[in-house]
Amino acid sequence: MAKKEQVDVLVIGAGPSGSVSAAQLHRDGLKIKVVEKERFPRFVIGESLLPRCMEHFDEVGLMDTLKAQNYQIKRGARFIRDGRDCWFDFGEQYTQGWTWTWQVPRGHFDKVLIDTIASWGVDVEFETAVTQIEKGADSQLTTVTHADGSETQIESRFIIDASGYGRVMPRMFQLEKPSVMAPRSAVFGHFTDRNRPSGILGERITFVIHRRDIWIWVIPFSDGITSVGFAGNPDFFAMYNTEDKAEQLINMMKDVPFVWERFHDQDNVIPGRMMNAYAASVKQSYGPGYVITGNSSEFIDPVFSSGVTFATESGLVAAKLVKRHLNGEVIDWATEYVQHMHQGVETFRVYVNRWYEGDLQDIFFFSHDSANPEIKRKICSVLAGYVWDTSNPFVRDHGERALGSLSKRVKIYE
């Protein structure tokens, strides 16, 4: 193993979390390297973004390049239950912030992000997988394996593990912790969308509530392709189970008229894939010389599309703390990193749990005369990812109290 490089920070993974970290550290003048196991573009799910993450891309200088891609603009979300509609519009929310974001094919989006960063002069190596790490207090020695099987070593002062579903450090150092979320499944694919309705009905992400515990996403992209996915409790997927996930997806779509009418004659350009028990957590997300960000640290559930926003939030916060640490400052990681992420993650956890229990769905579809538009604006801010604005009672104490009393009120009127 001849080659040994030296950098300030090694970033593992070139998803949105790693890209935002790398962009921030590069702007701070540190010598960094990004290693990515796959050749890009690669498929990854997670195509609907939240307004909050626009702040991250903007802050690290990636916004202009992203805007030039003409991705499908997402100004809100539409929910459908029993033929009834409920709309949230990010322009009508409580927290001051971005009122729009994008729906993106992630293969393209992630490649644009990392290629832009590479064009700034950041060293990015694809088809390079981290296979071993020797941790130390001041210096980390990482072994990477290249596509041809050869190995090299990278010595870094710090590691940011943004390896997503790869979960490099949690697996390597037994940091994984079972998630408190119930295990759920998803089957999804991409389709042509020639029957797409014109205007906002065709453009907007739509969630169809099929059963209390099963929902379907329809996410249109600007290139005419649309992502369709089913998510929820595993017993539903068992009813359709077949080895061939493309066939399984089509069979499930046939049973949802809203979906089948639009896609029955379309081409399935990315055939069905399945993911199971994707919720993940860690015992600790930082230690001497390392921090774990994005999905490698925590993932709750796809409903409400919070994954990429947590990936970029944690990637950006971690990068800023790493820079201060390398400057000699003593960092209170428990407060500035763990507690910060906890505030946002726990808020979404409350909403996700109430969604699957059904009472959040009832709140969404509550149409009594006294349904309060101010409350809707506050819930809309959560759905936009503004889960750190604790002046919002639907964010304070993670929304427990506000949602609890609202749910009681809804039950009384029903």
Residues that bind ligand FAD (CB under 6 A): 12-18, 35-38, 44-49, 129-130, 162-166, 168, 186, 231, 275, 278, 294-296, 299, 302, 305, 307-309, 311
Q: Cβ contacts of residue 48 below 8 Å, gap of 6+?
A: 74, 103, 205, 217, 219, 305
Q: What is the DSSP string of 107-122?
A: HHHHHHHHHHHHHTT-
In the complex, the smallest distance separating the C-beta of residue 164 from ligand FAD, rounded to whole angstroms, is: 2
In the complex, the smallest distance separating the C-beta of residue 13 from ligand FAD, rounded to whole angstroms, is: 3
> Which residue has 């709750």 as its token pair?
300
In the complex, the smallest distance separating the C-beta of residue 345 from ligand FAD, rounded to whole angstroms, is: 12
Q: Which is nearer to ligand FAD, 229 or 399 (CB)?
A: 229
Q: Which is nearer to ligand FAD, 275 or 371 (CB)?
A: 275
In the complex, the smallest distance separating the C-beta of residue 186 from ligand FAD, rounded to whole angstroms, is: 3
Q: Which is nearer to ligand FAD, 269 or 405 (CB)?
A: 269
Q: Which is nearer to ligand FAD, 385 or 399 (CB)?
A: 385
In the complex, the smallest distance separating the C-beta of residue 172 from ligand FAD, rounded to whole angstroms, is: 9
Give the DSSP H/E element, type plus range, for residue 51. Answer: helix 51-59
Q: Which is nearer to ligand FAD, 168 or 216 (CB)?
A: 168
In the complex, the smallest distance separating the C-beta of residue 157 from ligand FAD, rounded to whole angstroms, is: 19
Q: What is the DSSP string of 202-217?
A: HHS-EEEEEETTEEEE
Residues recorded for the chain: 414
Q: Which is nearer to ligand FAD, 347 or 407 (CB)?
A: 347
In the complex, the smallest distance separating the C-beta of residue 51 from ligand FAD, rounded to whole angstroms, is: 12
Answer whether 161's CB lies under 8 Å from 246's CB. no
In the complex, the smallest distance separating the C-beta of residue 193 from ligand FAD, rounded to whole angstroms, is: 17
> Which residue has 């069905």 as its token pair?
272
Which two three-digit tokens encode residue 100?
């729009």
Instruction: List Cα–Cα distances, 14 to 37, 40, 63, 155, 330, in angstroms.
Output: 9, 9, 17, 19, 28
In the complex, the smallest distance separating the C-beta of residue 121 from ligand FAD, rounded to whole angstroms, is: 20
In the complex, the smallest distance separating the C-beta of residue 14 from ligand FAD, rounded to whole angstroms, is: 5
Give the DSSP H/E element, type plus range, for residue 377. Answer: helix 373-383
Q: Which is nearer to ligand FAD, 266 or 309 (CB)?
A: 309
Answer whether 85's CB lies under 8 Å from 79's CB. yes
Give the DSSP H/E element, type plus range, for residue 317. Answer: helix 307-326
Identify residue 45 by its one-letter amino acid code.
I
Instruction: List Cα–Cα distances, 251 to 38, 113, 206, 246, 257, in angstroms.
Output: 31, 35, 20, 9, 12
Q: Which is nearer to ligand FAD, 104 or 402 (CB)?
A: 104
Q: Which is nearer to ligand FAD, 36 or 362 (CB)?
A: 36
Q: Which is nearer to ligand FAD, 345 or 410 (CB)?
A: 345
Instruction: Round to whole Å and give the CA distance between 188 and 131.
Output: 30
Which two three-digit tokens encode residue 298?
């925590």
Phi-psi region of 124 (alpha: psi -120 to 50; beta: other; left: phi over 0): beta
Instruction: List Cα–Cα distances, 216 to 181, 208, 232, 249, in angstroms.
Output: 19, 5, 9, 11
